[in-house]
Amino acid sequence: MNARSVWNSPFAWLVRRELWEHRLIVGGPGVLFGVIVLSAIIGLLNGHPISMSGDVSGLDLGPIEAPARKLQILMIAIICLVGALFLMLASGVQIFYAADTLHAERSQRTILFWKSLPVSDLSTVLAKVVVAALVIPLVALAAGLATTLVLSLLFTVEAYSLSNLLAAVWSPAVWWHATVALLYLTLTATVWFLPMTTWFLLVSAWLPLARGRLGRSPMLVAVVVPALVVVFEAVAFHSFTAGAYLTKRFGFAQYLSTAFADARVTFNSAGDIDGRTIGSIASDVMSPLTFLGSPSTIIGVLVSALFIAGAVYSRRRSEDRA
């Protein structure tokens, strides 16, 4: 099977259909890209250019002569911070998309049309899972890298005389390792928070079968049901086991401790890294085997599979009603 046949496969068309129907997937990162770049351009037009001696807005920074690898690590950190900002936006888009996509088929009375096509409910739901869990963060990641690239071009125009800084900004190793780190962050976060994404999809698929006002708000039900479980446990058993587990499991602290090792970057008295390359530091920080072998990761994937099966079952038995 070549790339052309994959691109024209029914599953690929299902994914593209989601992109056409939900413009926020691309529009959200696009708006943030425009805001950041436009703000940077306005700031450059209204500010003071960087002079040959390193003066910025009347403040003498002195000669910028930090060791090359220290500047490279700083640039990697900047690229990752911009990318993380876009991934935070993607997490919000994921939740709203997952809570709406299967519910909208019924509220807009289009489910009979889509069911008339020779596509199974399993393929339809899996396409939505792929879009929610993978396509949305990857689009945001691409927008974040594009934003950093444009900002780097603007910085190059202003700081053309600072050759050591520009060498770090445009170092191929910097962009490679920053991209790998962001891609690793995106994929591991996708797997780690997959139960949350598929839970919203399950509620979106099942809830239209229910009656009453809550049937109109899958987002509300997806949040209220776990909250009610926590409250019931606290009132009935005077414990907080479920709440503590959910807070810990879906908090960033446990995710970061599972996906990333506690690797510290230290500099010597000259500000350089003793005998270490950028690649060795990156490999020390990322711990994919530990992440994939974690019981929390494995249980999360199994629970996600159950939620996906529930969403497929609910859609298969659905009727065209609001």
Residue with tokens 């125009």: 157
Q: Are 64 and 165 in contact (CB under 8 A)?
A: yes
pLDDT number for residue 44: 81
pLDDT in tens, 56-115: 444 343 444 456 667 777 888 889 999 999 999 999 999 999 998 888 777 766 666 666
Which of the 8 DSSP states describes residue 216?
G
* Res 262 pLDDT > 70: no
For helices 252-259 and 295-316, angle between their N-to-C axes, nearest 10 degrees: 120
For the chain, domain boundaries = 17-51+64-316
Q: Is the model more confident about 211 or about 80?
A: 80
Residue with tokens 């139960």: 195
Reported pTM: 0.83
pLDDT in tens, 163-188: 777 888 888 888 998 999 999 999 99
> Encoding tokens for residue 161?
């005389």
The length of the chain is 322
Q: Is the model more confident about 39 or about 285?
A: 39
pLDDT number for residue 199: 95
For helices 68-107 and 172-192, angle between their N-to-C axes, nearest 10 degrees: 40
pLDDT number for residue 52: 38
Q: What residues have CB less than 8 Å from 278, skipping those under 6 apart?
A: 69, 72, 73, 76, 173, 174, 177
pLDDT number for residue 72: 79
> Encoding tokens for residue 195?
């139960």
Rounded CA Rg of the chain: 24
pLDDT number for residue 245: 86
Q: How many CB atoms lie within 10 A of CB 319?
A: 9
Cα–Cα nearest to 201, from 137, 119, 122: 122
Q: Are 241 and 232 in contact (CB under 8 A)?
A: no
pLDDT number for residue 166: 81
Q: How many CB atoms lie within 10 A of CB 46?
A: 7
pLDDT, mean over the chain: 81
